[in-house]
Structure 1
Amino acid sequence: MTDLRLFHTEGCHLCELAQALLDEQQLSYQLVDICDHAESLEKYKIRIPVLTKGDAELGWPFDQASLTEFLEANQ
């Protein structure tokens, strides 16, 4: 199982853009809908989409370059 998690919610167009970036890189990641988890909702409600790897977080906006930098820094 992957340790990349994308916090999102349904109907979030920015979340869809983030998913598209991850899919372009053919990355394996887990989608976590913040509405299904009270703790995630409280933490990320106005910040989504947020990509995490372990304790590291990459908040929106991000592009391919910052995504690559994040992944390399958090191997």
Structure 2
Amino acid sequence: MGAATPRGRASTTRRNPGGLTDRQLEVVRLLGRGLSNAEIAREMVLSPKSVEHHVGAVLTKLGAASRLEAAQRLGISDSA
């Protein structure tokens, strides 16, 4: 028998608002600054496609209809 595999979300994800990962929280912070996916990708040294996936996950987890709404729900939008 092998070692037990942890199940469920990581403890850091459970502590974050909306169940977001640390990386997703960083994406939301950048969304709150009004950055595009390409700008977020450059800032985070990720591919634009990776950013697209993170943005989609954030919108789903927060039940937000837009990028701005996601940032506002966490109170980190420049226009909140």
What TM-score does the superposition give when structure 1 sets the normalisation length? 0.30
TM-score normalized with structure 2 length: 0.29
Q: Larger helix proportion, structure 1 or 2?
A: 2
Higher Cα Rg, which structure: 2
